[in-house]
Structures are given as C-alpha cells and as structure tokens.
C-alpha cells in the first residue's frame, strides 16, 4: 500500500529501538521525535510508551497515539498527519474509561473472543509486563486497540504492514508464534495480551465510536472480505465460522482444537447433504424393507379359523421341532446362529410343516455358499403322501428319456451313412435307492433365507454321491447353478448339495448309545444283503447316559444313519444283474465285472463312533463338556473333525445334531483332482494297417539275386524242355 | 473385534456359526478388561479362536496408539488366564511352514517336523536336531500372524494415516454406504501394503494418501477368494474369506461398526483354486 515508503526510512531506526527503549520508558515524557519513532515503528512501542504515558494523563499526545495508531497505519496518509489527527480522537480513549462499567455487562459475548486472545496474549506479555511494571492501566488502553484490531482480524493489508513495522520491536520469538496463529493479527497482539484480558468490552465500543474513521473502515473491509461468498459453494467464511463455533458450543466436544478440521468438514458435508435434487422424491426401495416384509409374513398366522383348529387338534403330535430348545443347547455348546435367525428359521419350518403333510421334521443345519447360504430342513412325509409326489417327479424324467431316445431314433433314420460306433460301453448305472431307504431316507427342503419358499431337493443317485466324493467345490447359493468340475458332476448344484447332505448325514448324525434300537419286525440280515438292517426305532427303555461318560468315551455314541458304501448306496446292489439280462456281454468284460462285483460291506447301522476311522492321526471326533465350572449342568458336546461344522450335543434324553459350514469334508492333504484317463486308442492296430519298412539296398540286391537265380533255373528248365522238344 | 462391543458384534457374525457359550462370553468380558489394565493397551480385541482337536485357543490382541503398528497377542485356553505370545519373527516362518494338520490344543505339544528333518539330513546334517521339534505355541504365533496379514481387513476410510506416520481411527468415518459396502474395492488389507507400490501413476492419481494407504481386496489372488454377502436385508455386510475359512468380517453400513473374527481350525484352504 502506501505505507511501505513511509516505513522504509524507519526500518533503519528499528534495530536501535529495542535497545534504547527500556531506558526510554522511564523517561516517558520524552521528546516527540521518540514518539514518532515509536509510532512509526509499530504499536508495540506505542503500547509501551503509551502505557508509560498513560499514567501521566496530562500528556494527551502520547496517550492518544497508541490508541489510534492502527488507524494511522491504515490510512494512506503519511504518519505525521496521523499524529495530527491523533489529538482529536482523544474521545475514544476517554470513552474507554467511561465504558469500563459497561464492559462488564458486555462481557459474556466476548468470552469466546477472550479465549482467542489468551493464547496469543501470553506471548507478548513480557513486553507488557515491562510496561505493566510501569503502569497497569496502560494495559487497559491497549486492549481497546487490541480488541478493535481483532475485529479487523481478517483485514489484510493494513495489518500486515503494521506487522512488518511492529515486529522488529517485539521479541522475535513472539512474532513467529503470532504469525503462526494468524498473520493478520500479528501486529496487534502486543497490545492485546494485557488489555485483551482486562478490557474486552472496550474494543467493541470503540468500534462503534462516532469517530471510527479509518479503523472502522478497515473493520468493514475485513468483514466484507469474510462475508464474501465462495463462487463454488456459495458459502462465506463468516457464516462457516459462525456455524462451526455454534456447533462446537452446542455439542461441546472434547479437545475441539484437535478436531476442528473434522468439524469444519462435517459442516461442509452437512451443507451438501441438504442440497438434494428433485428426483429424490421417489421412495427408495431398500432390500431391508423387502426382507422385513417377508419376515412379517412369517409372523402371521397361516390360514383362517379352520386351519387354526386343525393345528390345535394336531398339537399333541406335531412334527414341528422345537428349534429354539436345540438352539439353546447349542449355544451352551458354543456353536450356532444368532437367536434372531434361529427364530426366523423356526417360523419358516413351522410354515413348512403346515403346508406339507409331514411325519417328521428337523432343522438339519446351514450350508454356507459364496453368494447365499442354504438353510436345510430334513423331513419325512407321512405314509402314502410322499409316494404320490415322488411318482409325479419321476414321470418327467421318464418323459425326458423317452424324448431323447426318440430324437436319437429320428437321427438314426435320417443318417443312413452311420459313423462308426465306439465299442465303449458305459459301466452299468447303479440304480438309486428308493425313497425312505438308504440315502433317500429323508427328504430335504432348502431355502436361502427363512421366509423364502422352501425348495425340495431331488433324491440323490449313487452316481452323484460317487462323483461328489471326487470333487470339492464351493456352493454358490443358487440351486440351478451348474457344477463345473472334473470329473463332471451329473447334475447341478441342487444335486451336489443333496449329495453332500447325504454324505454329511451319514457321517455325523449320531445319538447316544441305546437311544435307538432295531425294530423287531425287521427281516433277517441276510435278506438285506449283509448291509445290516436299515431301520430303527426309539428305545422306550432308554436310560440316559451320564454326561461324563458321553464325553469320555466315544463308544457311547452311535451312528443312526447308514454308512454309504463306495458304490454310492447304503445297501449294496449288484449293478450287473439287470445288465446281464438285457445284453450279451463279452467274456472279458464279464471277467472284469466279476472281480468288481464283490459285495461291499460297510459298518452296520448303530455302530459306535469309536469304530470310526482316524484321519491321519487326527481323531474323528472331539468331545468336551460344555462347561467345567458348573459340571452339574454341563452337556456333552461332540464336534466332528471330519466334517468341520458338524456338532452334536446330548444331555439326558435330549440330543441333536447340526451342521453349519461350507459342506466340505476335511482332508489333511490338499485336494488333487483325479488324473485324466489315458488317451483311448482310435482303432485296433494290426498288420493290415501298419506300414512296412522299405527294403534296404542289400535286401533288394538279395531279392534281385534270388529272382535272377530263379529266372536262370526256369530258363534252364525251359531250355531243357526246349531241348527235349528239339530232341523230340 | 473390539472387546467392548463383543456380545453385539458376535451376534452379527453368528450367521456362519460363530458363537460363544454364555460362560465363555462372560469370562471374556471380564478377563479382557483386566488384560487391558495389566498390559496398558489402548484397545483390546478378541481376535478369534483356533480350534484344536483337544482344546481351543482363544486369541486376543492389544493395540497401542498406532493402530497399524505392532500389536501384542495373547492366548488363553479357558478365556480367563491369558499369556503373551512371542512376537512373530521371520526366522520362525520356515520352521512352521511344513506343519500340516489340525492344532492339538496344547501349547507345549511338539511337532516333529518331518519335512525339515529330511531336508536337513540331506543338506546340513548339523542343524537337524535344532529344527526337528516345533512347539505348537510357535505355530500358533505364525498362524495368527499369517491370517492377520492375509485376511485382516478394514473398510475404506475407517483408518487414516497421519502425516507423521502413525495410523489412527478416523473420527469422521461414518461407514460405507450399502452400494459401496457391496464392493470388494471398499475394503482394505490392514497390513503393510504390497500392491500399492506397484500401481501406475495413473491409478494412484485418484487415491487419497491419508485414506488409501492400504491394499484393497479387489486384486486378491485367486480372484473370488472372498464371499461377500448382505445379511438381514442389507443391515449387515458380511465378508467371509475362502482362503482362510473361518474368518468372518462384518460391517454395518452407514455406521462405524466393523470388525473381524476368526473361528476356525487355523488351516489355510490350499484347495481354493479347485473349488471356485
């Protein structure tokens, strides 16, 4: 601005000032030249000199100068003029004294500002103290200037200049800290510290003083600057600060100085959030609501009054399992889902029970998938009812088969020039087990979320079980997803899931010894093919085994699901019997098959767990009591190491099994897909089609020689004959 | 997950079968508080449980002011008495690399390191005796560290790196939105970044150095080694690691709540490539 030229000459003097000053102060009534220096150099000096002088009020010139100096600096005019004007504004100073009382009343709003000053004030204090020793009231006056300047805070140019003039006077360290705080304020701070604390009110009044002149102008400028709205966001810094302070004072966070950036950011963010476009009126469709809607249906009673009556009639013998009770026990065991989920499942199973004619129903477990999980319910239909459904299901399969055969026939007719048929004959298909027996003893329903419709899984075939053993794939959560694997799996994910469920059930469905017994009416073992009897019934005379015994000895637990043979069935069947009837077979094949067809025998039903094979030095089951602190009420918990995620508990007559996991068997060694079979031969190789080696030269020569000999012999003979003829 | 909010957080991850019996839960609440006092941690987390055949290890970790800095880990067999695990060191990794199979549940159990033995017999006869036996405690240390490095994850923005280096919780983290939470790129490995340095300048241009100072899950190998699911109709996002089955991460969208816990056997799923 205009001032730099004025200041430049002074700069030379500044360095001298700090030294001489202290002595000068005592001799306060010093010459005007000194004052001039002080004033020009900056307010710091003036504060000091002024303060010393203030005591001696009679010297108006000296007193006034400090108060007004800010104005002078702001004024473009030369400092001398300023001084001239200084005399007039005495009033403001007077007013300062007068207004000391009002100050008190004004006090509150200024507190905030006072805080701002405090930090700053502490640093310049040394100087003031110097002065202060001289005369405390000086502080008072300076405050006036200080506070007013604070208002000006943002005002840029005048202050900066003043700062430059000021600083040499002050202790350098002070200056630096001030600048960090707010460079604009730097110059004023010298006055503020003493004054700012005492006399906040005065400043305000001074601003309003009738003769504000250039200072007020500066304040206005500063405020105008602060009020200038940003082009981008349309917000002014003034408003932003106001909001920030309001927020801080409202919320009173701890350590606001540390998180001031966050607060500022929050306010800015909040501003953006309010600004929304008109499209937003469309109601958002969150999946949460859909699910809540779905769950709500679970909580509604199914059907009308009639249905309720039926339920009451059947209440005595309902197939509905008490899921929550088992959930409680598994929670004691340290395994299971959240109670909320359990209850949803409970309601979903209830829905299943009411909509299907079920004899038995059980929450089997949960199979995790990549995109969704399966909740599995194990059910048994009532006698007679399930067969109808089964037949219905089978029909489409047959239709399909017939259809495909027809197509093949059609193709055959069209193509008269048949390509050579491979003489490969697929191994005979092992027929699947009938419903209610073996692997298909139970029927399984699955759903992704409780409340979604239950989907019945198709019965499992032995081929699926055999193939499921060879592959290891994650479930995706979609039943119709294809299984891309080697060896190829016959079916989609529903079949794979069903096969895994069958395997898991066979391995991990266990009960305390003696809880089940074989039915008496069951036929001889021989009839069953040696695989043991496949049905059992509850033992009415079962005496509970104590928990400690259950924990200590695995022989107190038995499998109550039949073991699946390597064939993929629970009861062995000779796959060749049918095949022999249908086709004639080569002798060689028959031999092979005879070797294969040795009957497989697995452990019979209700075999104790202690017979289970170890997995490479790892026990197949880990058992423990649920608590060691309260052994009286502990329950026995068994955990399968072969199928991680399979748990069982037992206490008294209660026991249950559950599986929650990925549906994979544990193997200590890593999985290796089976090797590719050797490449098949394209055709039988024989002498007819194999190329002969070219004869070598020797061989040709030998052949030639032989031929020549032969010729020679013939000729000889001919000649002889001729001779004979001639002779004749 | 944070010990303070343990019961609530456990409830959120219970979908994969993670559950603690009331006895253990109560014991943890008490003992972890005491751990925090005794070791003067700023924060104590329950890291998880490694199931052995004869018992389970419960592992907790204590954090200092630098959340990404080294952390102390403790283990307990009964959820009451905790003992400090030695910090993992580079030289331990080869010692435990050959160990396979389930944990036993006994920290003093000694594995016979067959692979190492053979190698040693072949190469250096002298070292054979030192490396033959490895304590299970050591294996536990390495396994926990490996799991943490491989699949310990946080949502993007939950932690900020200060200019001076230490990593702090982000005060102004308000959670991911549901759409963000469904993307793997919104989650970071909470460990020393590896891929970040290999990114091109173009890719780095959009990154915020104070937030994006970690590797995201997006480029994890093999692709698809995470199962990301929205449970309870969008109220929770659950990530399950397929590489280390048993690790479950949860995040409640639009809130600060997030955490992970490991409930498994402590074995890596090396069959993963075949299973996808």
DSSP A621-653: EEEEES-SS-GGG--EEEEESSSTTEEEEEETT
Q: Cβ–Cβ of A286/B53 closer than 8 Å?
A: no
Q: Tell me the two tokens of residue A56.
A: 């001696």
Q: Strands B43-51, B258-264: parallel, antiparallel or unpaired by DSSP?
A: parallel
Q: What is the rounded CA–CA span in Å between residue B97 and residue B87?
A: 17
**Residue-wise burial string across A690-715, b where 16 or more C-beta atoms lie within 10 A, e elsewhere:** eeeeeeeeeeeeeeeeeeeeeeeeee
Given a cut of 80, whether residue A428 has pLDDT beyond it is no
Q: Strands B247-251, B258-264: parallel, antiparallel or unpaired by DSSP?
A: antiparallel
Q: What is the rounded CA–CA span in Å between residue A491 and residue A655?
A: 34
pLDDT tens-digit series, residues A486-506: 888 888 899 999 999 988 988
pLDDT tens-digit series, residues A112-137: 444 444 444 444 444 444 443 444 44
Q: What do you get for the CA distance between the two ends of chain A, in Å? A: 157
* Cβ contacts of A340 on chain B, cutoff 8 Å: 11
Q: Tell me the two tokens of residue A526.
A: 């021989």
8 Å CB contact between B107 and B136: yes
Q: Cβ–Cβ of A668/B101 closer than 8 Å?
A: yes
What pLDDT, on a 0 to 100 scale, did the predictor assign at position A109?
44
pLDDT tens-digit series, residues A697-710: 988 899 999 999 99
What pLDDT, on a 0 to 100 scale, did the predictor assign at position A725?
59
Tell me what ipTM this predicted complex has: 0.87
The proportion of chain A whose per-residue pLDDT surpasses 70, expressed as a percent, equals: 54
Q: Is B100 an interface residue toward A (CB < 8 Å)?
A: yes
The DSSP bridge partners found for residue A492 are: A482
Query: Of A140, A127, A143, whose CA–CA distance to A57 is shortest?
Result: A140
Q: Cβ–Cβ of B172/A266 closer than 8 Å?
A: yes
8 Å CB contact between A45 and A38: yes
Neighbours of B125 (CB within 10 A): 9
Q: Is B102 an interface residue toward A (CB < 8 Å)?
A: yes
- Number of CB pairs, chain A paired with chain B, less than 8 A apart: 111
Contacts 24+ apart (CB under 8 A), A25-28: A25/A49, A25/A52, A25/A130, A25/A131, A25/A134, A26/A52, A26/A134, A28/A52, A28/A53, A28/A55, A28/A56, A28/A59, A28/A62
DSSP string, A423-448: ---PPPPPPPPPTTSGGGSSEEEEES
Given a cut of 70, whether residue A8 has pLDDT beyond it is no
Coil, helix or strand at residue B218: helix
DSSP string, A467-529: HHHH------S-TT-B---SSPPSSBHHHHHHHHHHHHHHHH-EEETTSEEE-TT---TTTTT
pLDDT in tens, chain B (276 residues): 888 888 888 888 888 888 888 888 888 888 998 988 898 888 898 999 998 888 889 999 988 877 777 888 999 988 888 999 888 888 888 877 777 788 888 888 887 765 544 554 444 444 444 456 778 888 888 888 889 888 889 998 888 888 888 888 887 788 888 888 888 888 998 888 888 777 888 877 877 878 888 888 888 888 888 988 888 777 889 999 999 988 999 999 888 889 999 998 888 888 888 887
What pLDDT, on a 0 to 100 scale, did the predictor assign at position B251?
92
Q: Is B224 an interface residue toward A (CB < 8 Å)?
A: yes
What pLDDT, on a 0 to 100 scale, did the predictor assign at position A197?
44
Arithmetic mean of pLDDT, A560-575: 78
DSSP string, A564-593: PPTTSSSS---THHHHHHH----HHHHHHH
Arithmetic mean of pLDDT, A519-543: 58
Q: What is the rounded CA–CA span in Å between residue A470 and residue A454?
A: 29
8 Å CB contact between A436 and A442: no
* Cβ contacts of B100 on chain A, cutoff 8 Å: 668-669
* Cβ contacts of B171 on chain A, cutoff 8 Å: 259, 262
B171 torsion bin: left (phi>0), alpha (psi -120 to 50), beta (else): alpha
What pLDDT, on a 0 to 100 scale, did the predictor assign at position A284?
64
SS3 assignment for A519-545: CCCCCCCCCCCCCCCCCEEECCCCCCC
Helices (H), A99-168: 100-122, 125-134, 136-152, 157-166
Q: Which of A410-419, A480-489, B138-147 shows the lowest mean pLDDT across its residues? A: A410-419
Closest to B19 (Cβ–Cβ): which among A334, A370, A662? A334
Q: Tell me the two tokens of residue A270.
A: 């909040």
Q: Tell me the two tokens of residue B129.
A: 């005796």
* Cβ contacts of A371 on chain B, cutoff 8 Å: 227, 229
Given a cut of 50, whether residue A16 has pLDDT beyond it is no
What is the average pLDDT score of chain A? 67
Q: What is the rounded CA–CA span in Å between residue B47 and residue B14?
A: 15
The DSSP bridge partners found for residue A361 are: A379
Q: Is B233 an interface residue toward A (CB < 8 Å)?
A: yes
Coil, helix or strand at residue B45: strand
- Please report where in the chains the tokens 């209610």 appear, as a residue: A436
pLDDT tens-digit series, residues A569-610: 777 777 666 544 444 444 444 444 444 556 667 777 777 777
**Residue-wise burial string across A325-337, b where 16 or more C-beta atoms lie within 10 A, e elsewhere:** ebbebbbbbbbbb
Closest to B276 (Cβ–Cβ): which among A287, A474, A661? A474
Residue of B nearest to A671 (CA): B271
Arithmetic mean of pLDDT, A628-647: 86
Arithmetic mean of pLDDT, A651-665: 88
Residue of A nearest to B178 (CA): A286
Which class for B244: exposed (0-12), middle (13-18), buried (19 or more C-beta within 10 A)? buried
Given a cut of 70, whether residue A353 has pLDDT beyond it is yes
Q: Cβ–Cβ of B172/A262 closer than 8 Å?
A: yes
Write out the H or E segment, with its range, that includes residue B169: strand B167-169
Neighbours of A10 (CB within 10 A): 18
CA atoms B261, B263, B268, B272: torsion sign: negative
Q: Is B242 an interface residue toward A (CB < 8 Å)?
A: yes
What pLDDT, on a 0 to 100 scale, did the predictor assign at position A35?
46
Residue of B nearest to A621 (CA): B53
Arithmetic mean of pLDDT, A204-211: 53
Q: Which of A203-217, A524-538, B77-91 shows the lowest mean pLDDT across its residues? A: A524-538
What pLDDT, on a 0 to 100 scale, did the predictor assign at position A147?
41
What pLDDT, on a 0 to 100 scale, did the predictor assign at position A721?
67
Q: What is the rounded CA–CA span in Å between residue A19 and residue A8?
A: 19
* Cβ contacts of A262 on chain B, cutoff 8 Å: 171-172
Distances in whole angstroms, Cα of residue A682 to Cα of each of A679, A692, B192? 9, 20, 57
Q: Return the higher-pLDDT residue of B111 and A308.
A: B111
Q: A325 Cβ partners below 8 Å, 6+ apart?
A: A654
**Residue-wise burial string across A454-480, b where 16 or more C-beta atoms lie within 10 A, e elsewhere:** beebbbbbbbbbbbbeebbbbbbbebe
8 Å CB contact between A642 and A593: no
Instruction: Give me the torsion for CA of A495, A498, A500, A503, rounded to 10°.
Output: -130
Query: Of A626, A656, A297, A685, whose CA–CA distance to A510 is shortest?
Result: A656
Q: Which of B21, B172, B266 best probes binding to A when mutated, by most A CB atoms within 10 angstroms?
A: B21
The proportion of chain A whose per-residue pLDDT surpasses 90, expressed as a percent, equals: 4
Arithmetic mean of pLDDT, A614-633: 80
Given a cut of 50, whether residue A13 has pLDDT beyond it is no
What pLDDT, on a 0 to 100 scale, did the predictor assign at position A387?
52
Within a 13 Å sphere around the CA of A86, how many CA atoms are in the beta-carbon half? Answer: 26
Q: What is the DSSP letter of A325?
A: H
Measured in angstroms, the CA of B127 and the nearest CA of chain A are apart by 27
Q: Cβ–Cβ of B271/A671 closer than 8 Å?
A: yes
Q: Which of A332, A334, A367 best probes binding to B when mutated, by most B CB atoms within 10 angstroms?
A: A334
What pLDDT, on a 0 to 100 scale, did the predictor assign at position A49?
41
Q: Cβ–Cβ of A338/B15 closer than 8 Å?
A: yes
| Chain CA centroid to CA A246, Å | 37
Q: Return the higher-pLDDT residue of A544 and A460.
A: A460
Scanning B21-40 for CB atoms below 8 A from A yields 21-24
Q: A716 Cβ partners below 8 Å, 6+ apart?
A: none
What pLDDT, on a 0 to 100 scale, did the predictor assign at position B109?
82
Query: Of A400, A488, A506, A501, whose CA–CA distance to A458 is shortest?
Result: A501
Q: What is the rounded CA–CA span in Å between residue A466 and residue A103?
A: 95
Scanning B4-23 for CB atoms below 8 A from A yields 11-12, 14-17, 19-23
Closest to B19 (Cβ–Cβ): which among A331, A472, A644? A331
What pLDDT, on a 0 to 100 scale, did the predictor assign at position A279?
57
Q: Cβ–Cβ of A472/B274 closer than 8 Å?
A: yes
8 Å CB contact between B145 and B44: no
Query: Of A70, A621, A286, A47, whose CA–CA distance to B181 is shortest?
Result: A286
Measured in angstroms, the CA of B20 and the nearest CA of chain A are apart by 4
Q: Cβ–Cβ of B53/A473 closer than 8 Å?
A: no
Q: Tell me the two tokens of residue A230.
A: 């940003």
The DSSP bridge partners found for residue B75 are: B59, B83
Closest to B229 (Cβ–Cβ): which among A371, A664, A673? A371
Given a cut of 60, whether residue A658 has pLDDT beyond it is yes
Q: What is the rounded CA–CA span in Å between residue A122 and residue A168?
A: 19
What pLDDT, on a 0 to 100 scale, did the predictor assign at position A523?
43
Q: Is B65 an interface residue toward A (CB < 8 Å)?
A: no
Given a cut of 80, whether residue A648 has pLDDT beyond it is yes
* Cβ contacts of A265 on chain B, cutoff 8 Å: 172
Arithmetic mean of pLDDT, A410-421: 60
What pLDDT, on a 0 to 100 scale, did the predictor assign at position A726?
55
Closest to A262 (Cβ–Cβ): which among B11, B14, B171? B171
What pLDDT, on a 0 to 100 scale, did the predictor assign at position A702?
92
Distances in whole angstroms, Cα of residue A127 to Cα of each of A114, A164, A231, A369? 19, 17, 43, 75
Closest to B270 (Cβ–Cβ): which among A373, A661, A670? A670
Q: What is the rounded CA–CA span in Å between residue B21 and residue B6?
A: 13
Q: Cβ–Cβ of B24/A661 closer than 8 Å?
A: no
Measured in angstroms, the CA of A408 and the nearest CA of chain B are apart by 35
Neighbours of A354 (CB within 10 A): 17
Q: Which of A247, A329, A338 best probes binding to B when mutated, by most B CB atoms within 10 angstroms?
A: A338
Given a cut of 60, whether residue A510 has pLDDT beyond it is yes
Measured in angstroms, the CA of A252 and the nearest CA of chain B are apart by 16
Q: Tell me the two tokens of residue A486.
A: 């080697």
Q: Which of A346-355, A404-413, B132-141 shows the lowest mean pLDDT across its residues? A: A404-413
């Amino acid at each position: 601005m205009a001032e730099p030229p004025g200041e430049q000459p002074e700069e030379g003097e500044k360095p001298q000032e700090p030294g001489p000053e202290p002595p000068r102060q005592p001799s306060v009534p010093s010459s005007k030249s000194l004052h001039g220096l002080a004033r020009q150099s900056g307010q710091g000096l003036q504060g000091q000199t002024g303060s010393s002088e203030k005591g001696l009020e009679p010297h108006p010139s000296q007193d006034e100068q400090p108060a007004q100096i800010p104005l002078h600096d702001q004024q473009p005019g030369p400092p001398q003029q300023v001084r001239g004007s200084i005399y007039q504004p005495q009033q403001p100073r007077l007013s300062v004294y007068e207004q000391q009382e009002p100050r008190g009343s004004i006090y509150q709003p200024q507190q905030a500002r006072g805080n701002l000053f405090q930090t700053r004030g502490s640093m310049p204090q040394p100087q003031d103290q110097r002065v202060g020793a001289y005369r405390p009231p000086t502080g008072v006056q300076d405050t006036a200037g200080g506070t007013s300047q604070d208002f000006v805070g943002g005002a840029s140019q005048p202050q900066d200049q003043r700062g430059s003039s000021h600083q040499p006077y002050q202790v350098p360290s002070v200056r630096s800290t001030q600048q960090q705080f707010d460079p604009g304020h730097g110059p004023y701070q010298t006055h503020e510290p003493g004054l700012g604390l005492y006399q906040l009110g005065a400043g305000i009044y001074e601003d309003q003083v009738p003769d504000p002149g250039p200072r007020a102008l500066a304040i206005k400028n500063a405020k105008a600057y602060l009020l200038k709205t940003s082009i981008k966001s349309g917000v002014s810094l003034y408003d932003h600060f106001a909001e920030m302070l309001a927020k801080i004072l409202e919320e009173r966070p701890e350590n606001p100085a540390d998180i001031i950036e966050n607060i500022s950011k929050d306010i800015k963010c909040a501003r953006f959030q309010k600004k929304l476009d008109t499209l937003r009126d469309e109601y958002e469709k969150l999946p949460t609501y859909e699910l809540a809607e779905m769950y709500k249906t679970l909580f509604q009673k199914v059907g009308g009054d009639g249905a309720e009556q039926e339920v009451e009639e059947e209440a005595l013998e309902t197939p509905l399992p008490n899921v929550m009770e088992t959930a409680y026990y598994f929670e004691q065991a340290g395994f299971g889902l959240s109670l909320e989920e359990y209850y949803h499942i409970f309601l979903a199973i209830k829905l299943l029970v009411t909509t299907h004619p079920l004899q038995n129903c059980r929450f089997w477990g949960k199979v995790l998938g990549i995109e969704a999980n399966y909740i599995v319910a194990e059910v048994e239909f009532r006698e007679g009812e399930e067969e109808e459904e089964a037949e219905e299901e089978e029909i489409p399969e047959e239709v399909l088969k017939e259809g495909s055969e027809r197509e093949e026939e059609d193709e055959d007719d069209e193509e008269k020039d048949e390509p050579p048929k491979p003489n490969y004959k697929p191994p005979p298909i092992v027929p699947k087990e009938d419903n209610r027996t073996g692997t298909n003893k139970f029927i399984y329903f699955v759903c992704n979320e409780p409340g979604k419709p239950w989907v019945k899984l198709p019965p499992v075939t032995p081929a699926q079980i055999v193939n499921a053993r060879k592959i290891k794939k994650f479930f995706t959560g979609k039943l119709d997803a294809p299984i891309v694997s080697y060896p190829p799996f016959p079916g989609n994910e529903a079949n794979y899931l069903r096969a895994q469920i069958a395997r898991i059930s066979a391995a991990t469905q266990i009960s305390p010894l003696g809880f089940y017994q074989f039915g008496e009416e069951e036929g001889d073992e021989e009839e069953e093919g040696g695989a043991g009897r496949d049905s059992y019934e509850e033992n009415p005379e079962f005496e509970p085994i104590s928990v400690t015994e259950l924990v200590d000895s695995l022989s107190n637990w038995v499998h109550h699901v039949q073991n699946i043979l390597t064939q993929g069935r629970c009861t062995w069947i000779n796959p060749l019997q049918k095949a022999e009837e249908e086709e004639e077979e080569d002798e060689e094949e028959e031999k092979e098959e005879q070797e294969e067809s040795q009957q497989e025998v697995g452990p019979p039903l209700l075999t104790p767990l202690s017979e289970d094979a170890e997995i490479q030095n790892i026990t197949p089951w880990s058992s423990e009591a649920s608590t060691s602190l309260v052994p009286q009420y502990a329950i026995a918990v068994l955990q399968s190491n072969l199928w991680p995620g399979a748990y069982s508990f037992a206490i008294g007559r209660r026991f249950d099994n559950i599986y929650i996991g990925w549906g994979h068997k544990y193997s200590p060694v890593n999985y290796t897909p089976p090797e590719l079979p050797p490449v098949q031969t394209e055709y039988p190789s024989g002498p007819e089609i194999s190329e002969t080696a070219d004869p070598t030269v020797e061989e040709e020569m030998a052949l030639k020689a032989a031929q020549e000999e032969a010729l020679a012999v013939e000729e000889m003979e001919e000649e002889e004959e001729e001779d004979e003829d001639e002779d004749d | 997950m944070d010990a303070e909010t343990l019961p609530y957080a456990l409830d959120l991850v219970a979908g994969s079968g993670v559950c603690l019996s009331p006895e253990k839960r109560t014991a943890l609440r008490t003992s972890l508080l005491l751990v925090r006092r005794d070791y003067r941690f700023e924060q104590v987390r329950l890291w998880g449980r490694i199931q052995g055949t004869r018992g389970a290890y419960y592992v907790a970790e204590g954090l200092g002011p630098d959340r990404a800095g080294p952390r102390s880990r403790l283990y307990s067999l009964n959820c009451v008495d905790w003992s400090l695990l030695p910090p993992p060191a580079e030289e331990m990794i080869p010692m435990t690399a050959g160990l396979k199979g389930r944990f036993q549940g006994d920290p003093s159990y000694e594995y016979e390191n067959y692979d190492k033995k053979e190698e040693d017999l072949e190469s250096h006869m002298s070292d054979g005796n030192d490396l033959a036996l490895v304590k299970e405690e050591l294996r536990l240390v390495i396994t926990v560290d490996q799991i943490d490095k491989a699949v310990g994850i946080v949502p993007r923005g939950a932690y900020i790196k200060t200019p001076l280096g230490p990593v702090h919780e982000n005060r102004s983290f308000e959670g991911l939105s549901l759409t963000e939470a469904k993307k793997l790129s919104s989650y970071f490995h909470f460990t020393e970044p590896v891929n970040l340095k290999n990114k091109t300048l173009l890719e780095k241009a959009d990154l915020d150095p104070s937030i994006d100072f970690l590797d995201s899950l997006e480029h994890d190998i093999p692709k698809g080694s995470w199962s990301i699911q929205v449970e309870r109709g969008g109220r929770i996002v659950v990530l399950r690691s397929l590489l280390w089955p048993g690790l479950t991460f949860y995040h409640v969208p639009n809130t600060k709540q997030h955490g992970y816990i490991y409930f498994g056997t402590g074995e890596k799923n090396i069959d993963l490539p075949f299973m996808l």
